[in-house]
Amino acid sequence: MSAEQRLAVGKISGAFGVRGWVKVYSFTDPVENILRYSPWQVFTHGEWREMKVKTGRVHGKGIVAQLEGIDDRNAAELLNGAAIEVRRDQIPDAADDEFYWQDLEGMTVENEQGECFGTVSHLFETPANQVMVVSDGETERMMPFVEAYIIDVDMEAGKIIVDWQADW
């Protein structure tokens, strides 16, 4: 399965208990949605493995889950740090004004005057808002990904138009 057919939804952050449960850092909102997207494509030991979620729950600020075939702590520890992706057809389409971060990565960012700032390298969440990191190879800019600064996201053209100036 190609990378375009998968969407990153989290990562395994450690073992939980002695019966093979894993701690999961979920990228979904709300975090427990990751449990609905079984089976997971888990990248471990240099290869992708399909793993079904037997059960899971919210635990503190994260998620714990039990995966089929992972029955003890030693097996769970081997998954520490593994990426979790799902098939795109397992998740709902984004609403008109919402985007999956992975789809924004690599898009060109420019302002209304046509000044190009580079491409989106990644996004991250802060307590205040989401932030888009834009790089032109030399300079990295952090731009709030909020309605006040994002004028248009044209998925077909691979372009994001922002209300931003080069000297900001």
Predicted confidence pLDDT, tens digits, the chain (168 residues): 566 789 999 999 999 999 999 999 999 989 999 999 999 999 998 999 999 999 999 999 899 999 999 999 999 999 999 999 999 999 888 888 889 888 999 999 999 999 999 999 999 989 999 999 999 999 999 999 999 999 999 999 999 999 999 888
**Are 161 and 111 within 8 A, CB to CB?**
yes
Q: Are 13 and 24 in contact (CB under 8 A)?
A: yes
pLDDT at 61: 86
Largest Cα–Cα separation, the chain? 58
pTM: 0.77
- Judge contact between 42 and 49, C-beta under 8 A: yes
Pinpoint the residues of the chain covered by CATH 2.30.30.240: 101-162
Please give the full DSSP string across 95-117, using - where no structure is assigned.
PTT---HHHHTT-EEEETT--EE
- What is the fold of 3-89? Elongation Factor Tu (Ef-tu); domain 3 (2.40.30)
* DSSP 8-state secondary structure symbol assigned to residue 75: H
For the chain, where do the domains classified as CATH 2.40.30.60 start and end? Answer: 3-89
Q: How far apart are CA 157 and CA 20, in angstroms?
A: 45
Indicate the CATH number of 101-162 among 2.30.30.240, 3.40.250.10, 3.20.20.370, 3.50.50.60.
2.30.30.240
Cα(63)–Cα(52) distance, integer angstroms: 15
CA nearest to 107, candidates 152, 147, 74: 152
